[in-house]
Chain A
Amino acid sequence: MKVMPCPLNGPRPIQEFTCGGEVVAPPDPDHADAEAWADYLFLHDNAAGVVREWWYHVPTSFWFIADRDTVTDEIVRTFLPRELFGPDAQPDRP
């Protein structure tokens, strides 16, 4: 069984999670053209090696970020979005 270390719930079976895709900055909504949006929506690095992705724990509706190796199937590290995006990125949970 593959285990994902969730920053909120601790180690849980990976079947409880959904991968939300690569962490990429969305285009500036005021200035981005259609091409920039298409790029953001559809094109991926899809790298072989350590990638940084959004992950979601479905039962607790909890988003976090994982560094994961797509060649060895190892999870390197998981952490809260505020580490990348500052304290406003995710409110404290009860």
Chain B
Amino acid sequence: MPLGLLKYGLRPRRPPDRLLPPRPELKRAYDTVIIGGGGHGLAAAYYLATEHGITDVAVLDKGYLGGGNTGRNTAIIRANYLTEEGVQFYAESLDLWRGLSNELDFNLQYSERGHLTLAHADSAIRTMRWRAEVNKHFGVDSELIFPDEIAKLAPGLDLSADVRHPVLAALYHPPGATARHDAVVWAYAARAAAQGVELHSDTEVTGIQVESGRVTGVETSRGTIQCNRVLQAVAGQSSLVAAMAGFRLPIHTVPLQACVSLPLKPWLDPIVVSGSLHVYIWQSARGEVVIGGATDPYGLYANRSTLEFAEGTLLPVLELFPFLANVKMLRQWAGMCDMTPDFSPVMGVTPVENLYIDSGWGTWGFKATPVCGKRMAELIATGRTPDLLQPFRLSRFAEFEQVGEKGAASVGH
């Protein structure tokens, strides 16, 4: 338990503290500007301030902090990827997550509940075995298990053989976890602000100033700022911000929808994913069943919800958990995903000097929040790309060195 929570509980009076400072006036110049006040941008600001002593930082967001994809994802954390580059990267994120509530002195409701990826075919079992072995090689806890053990972990899951896609096995990843996504934003924002980082919500970036190949400032809806360095961390808008600086990205922006049910009594501990059925499901601490599926079939910059998603995602859920048939859905929403050709992120330097990018987070960005913030901060502070980020550089496409992670995307897209 975070110490602050205990102290708060023992206080005689508990006046509400203002978590975040009021928005200050925008200065004319900052050392570093971070475009995007979501989890990734705020985490980078926090680590810049605490680990590198860089506090002359402004975090800009065109809406409110955490109002983008940090508030729209389904909050699943795991490291059971397929490539050695991916597994090592997400494994460091898992390590950071485990200590994060204590480090930030904020209850992130981090909950390790196990993660099951179901295999419905021999070919899927082969991929799960492959992932399990790669994971174990890098010290990540994953194992192939079979229906007798799956039944103990996920009660109510239909394991009978006479269904459309019988469950043959599963990749079991015990460290699979969830966390309260808004709390992650608030905690990083508050702790960064305490170090002197300025948080500017409702401040839209409208242009990026580049002189002889080097970034010199950003134009915003509240005036122009001069700066030495810029980090863009704008999931769902990466191509549009990159275009302001004059370069293109290997990104295609597609909506991903999700929904939650009315609260039920606690019954499901692990996160259950089926790539073949294109669905994943877990039960939140409030009892709501959180359900997500594949991305929409075509690209859009719109957070609209569709009946096609609800039908196409909920029917397969009933194949897995038939008893949910009479449960009502509570709400449905969408976020915009920057999909890359190899299903890996794009992080590091760009064709513009001192403009750094954190993008290509498709459907896998939330879990990487701490490691991405920490390592991007290291890159910005030192100017050297950390080894962990090197495989995810933007130039890998021109060098034909993609990091093929599609086999470990949670569901087929």
Q: Which residues of A contact B (CB under 8 A)?
A: 1-2, 14-15, 18-19, 21, 34-35, 38-39, 41-48, 70-73
Is B249 a contact partner of A44 (Cβ separation < 8 A)? yes
Q: Find A38's partner among B243, B253, B301, B400 (CB 8 Å cutoff).
A: B400
Is B400 a contact partner of A72 (Cβ separation < 8 A)? no
**Neighbouring B residues of A2 by C-beta, 8 Å:** 306, 308
Is A72 a contact partner of B299 (Cβ separation < 8 A)? no
Q: Digit string of B225-262 for contact with A (CB within 8 Å is 1, else 0)?
A: 00000000000000110010000111111000000000
Closest to A55 in B: B298
**Neighbouring B residues of A71 by C-beta, 8 Å:** 300-302
Is A43 a contact partner of B304 (Cβ separation < 8 A)? no
A39 to B247, CA, bound (A): 11
The minimal Cβ–Cβ distance linking B51 to chain A, given in whole angstroms, is 33
Interface centre among A34, A42, A72 (most CB of B within 10 A): A42
**Neighbouring B residues of A1 by C-beta, 8 Å:** 307-308
Q: Find A19's partner among B248, B299, B308, B397 (CB 8 Å cutoff).
A: B299
**Neighbouring B residues of A19 by C-beta, 8 Å:** 297-299
B6 at the interface (CB under 8 A from A): no
**Neighbouring A residues of B300 by C-beta, 8 Å:** 70-71, 73
Is A73 a contact partner of B302 (Cβ separation < 8 A)? yes
**Neighbouring A residues of B299 by C-beta, 8 Å:** 19, 46, 70
B341 at the interface (CB under 8 A from A): yes
**Neighbouring A residues of B253 by C-beta, 8 Å:** 46, 70
Interface of B, secondary structure class, is loop
A35 to B398, CA, bound (A): 6
Is A48 a contact partner of B298 (Cβ separation < 8 A)? no
A14 to B312, CA, bound (A): 14
The minimal Cβ–Cβ distance linking A88 to chain B, given in whole angstroms, is 28
Q: Digit string of B369-405 for contact with A (CB within 8 Å is 1, else 0)?
A: 0000000000000000000000000000111100000
Is A14 a contact partner of B297 (Cβ separation < 8 A)? yes
**Neighbouring B residues of A46 by C-beta, 8 Å:** 239-240, 248-249, 251-253, 299
Chain B residue total in the interface (Cβ 8 A): 24
**Neighbouring A residues of B302 by C-beta, 8 Å:** 70-73
Is A34 a contact partner of B400 (Cβ separation < 8 A)? yes
11 other contacts beyond A42-B398, A70-B253, with CB at 8 A cut-off?
A: A2-B308, A19-B299, A42-B250, A43-B248, A43-B250, A43-B397, A44-B252, A45-B239, A46-B299, A47-B240, A70-B302
Is A48 a contact partner of B341 (Cβ separation < 8 A)? no
**Neighbouring B residues of A43 by C-beta, 8 Å:** 248-250, 397
A43 to B400, CA, bound (A): 13
The minimal Cβ–Cβ distance linking B327 to chain A, given in whole angstroms, is 25
The minimal Cβ–Cβ distance linking A38 to chain B, given in whole angstroms, is 4
**Neighbouring B residues of A41 by C-beta, 8 Å:** 341, 397
A24 to B248, CA, bound (A): 14
The minimal Cβ–Cβ distance linking B249 to chain A, given in whole angstroms, is 7
Closest to A71 in B: B301
Is B397 a contact partner of A70 (Cβ separation < 8 A)? no
Is B398 a contact partner of A44 (Cβ separation < 8 A)? no
**Neighbouring B residues of A39 by C-beta, 8 Å:** 248, 398
**Neighbouring B residues of A47 by C-beta, 8 Å:** 239-240, 243
Q: Find A44's partner among B251, B304, B306, B400 (CB 8 Å cutoff).
A: B251
A72 to B301, CA, bound (A): 8
Closest to A19 in B: B298
The minimal Cβ–Cβ distance linking A16 to chain B, given in whole angstroms, is 10
6 closest A-B pairs (Cβ-Cβ)? A46-B239, A42-B250, A42-B397, A43-B248, A38-B398, A48-B301
**Neighbouring B residues of A38 by C-beta, 8 Å:** 397-400
A75 to B252, CA, bound (A): 18
Is B248 a contact partner of A44 (Cβ separation < 8 A)? yes
**Neighbouring A residues of B341 by C-beta, 8 Å:** 41-42
